[in-house]
Each structure stands twice: as C-alpha cells, then as structure tokens.
Amino acid sequence: MTVATLDLSELTAEDLDAVTAIEREVSPLPWSRDLFAGELTLTSAQRLWLVGRLHGRVVAFGGVMFVGDDVHVMNLAVDLAHRRRGLAQVLLAELLRRSVERGARHTTLEVRRENDPAIGLYRRFCLRPVGLRRAYYDDGADALVLWAHDIDSPQYRDLLDRLRGQGAGRS
C-alpha cells in the first residue's frame, strides 16, 4: 500500500468514531469524541480538520486553529499500522497549504519534548524550537514550542509541494 492512494477531505461527523479510535490508539492523553465533535461546531475561520483515507478507511487526521494570521497545529495523528509511510508529512503539508489559502502567515505547535519522530517531521517543515512549556501536558510532560514564519512565501509553498510529493512517493 502506498501513500499515493491517500485521500484527504475535511472531517465530518461520520468520521468521529474512526478519529477517536486512532486518537485512543496513539495518544497517552487522548482527546474525547465530544471534544472532536465540538471542533466541528466551529467555523472555517476558526478551525480546519482533515482526515486521510486509504481504500476508504480513515487512517490519519489533523487539525489546526486560526488566531489572527497564525495557525496553531492542535493535533496530528496516524494510526499505528500506517506509520513511517509519509502520511503525516502529506497531511501536514496539505493542512498548511490550506491554512495559507485562508490567510495564515506563521505556524506554531507544541510537541512532547521526548517525541523525536514528531520533532523530526516538524523540522522538515522548518518549525524551530523557541521555548519550553514545563508540565504542559496533564501527565506532567514538557512541551517544546515550535514556530515557522512566512509560510505564505513562495519559497515555503515550494517546500510544502516538495514535502507532499516526497511523502506521496513513499511506500
């Protein structure tokens, strides 16, 4: 199975069970179904959520929050059976591309300090550490604060296209 068959679409209420199942599988502190459902009640000026499907089955999801011209990556996950295939890279590239279309100029996120695979992914998107939030997570884990600026530039758009293509080319 290759990433080239990944179908990206906006999250709908019909996707909530699958998204919640992935979240419980991969997160030490999973979001609840109700929390995801609440996200669907917000406007497109406030949020953007995408799901990725392979052969019709949801295997990945991600969501962002818009604050002025900043976009905050809130959650990004791939089910365990489909990791290391470039899915998160394709998904994040599309989230950021669509965010720029909605006026985003900068992006930020928090990531568990010990989550080396995620930090590696975010570095490919030029997200750099700018700070540390001690005991950010409910379990007491610290979070690195990452930022990338000028994501609306032609150079960053080229980077997004390149990363999406590299992700799609993996098997």
Instruction: Report how far residue 151's alpha carbon sits from residue 159's, in angstroms, rounded to the nearest whole number.
Output: 9
Query: What share of the chain has pLDDT > 70, as a percent?
Result: 95
Instruction: Please tell me the pTM assigned to this model.
Output: 0.93
pLDDT at 137: 93
Tell me the mean pLDDT in the region 131-141.
Answer: 95
Confidence of residue 168 (pLDDT cuts 50, 70, 90): low
Mean of per-residue pLDDT scores for the chain? 93
Within 8 A by CB and 6+ apart from 99, the residues are: 48, 64, 66, 71, 107, 151
Torsion of CA 166, 45, 42, 61, to 10 degrees: 0
CA nearest to 75, candidates 124, 11, 123: 11
- Lowest mean per-residue pLDDT among 84-98, 113-127, 129-143, 154-168: 154-168
Active site residues: 110, 122
- Burial 14-49, CB ≥16 within 10 A → b, else e: ebbebbbebbeeeeeebbeeeebeebeeeeeeebbb
Q: Identify the helix (H) or strand (E) that includes residue 66.
A: strand 57-67
User: Taken in order 166, 125, 105, 143, is the CA torsion positive or negative?
Assistant: positive
Task: Evaluate if residue 3 carries a pLDDT over 50.
Answer: no
pLDDT at 21: 98
pLDDT at 166: 82
Give residue-wise pLDDT tens across range 56-111: 999 999 999 999 999 999 999 999 999 999 999 999 999 999 999 999 999 999 99
Q: Identify the helix (H) or strand (E) that includes residue 159.
A: helix 154-168
CB 83 within 8 A of CB 44: no
Confidence of residue 2 (pLDDT cuts 50, 70, 90): very low
Instruction: Report how far residue 112's alpha carbon sits from residue 142's, in angstroms, rounded to the nearest whole number.
Output: 6
CB 27 within 8 A of CB 19: no
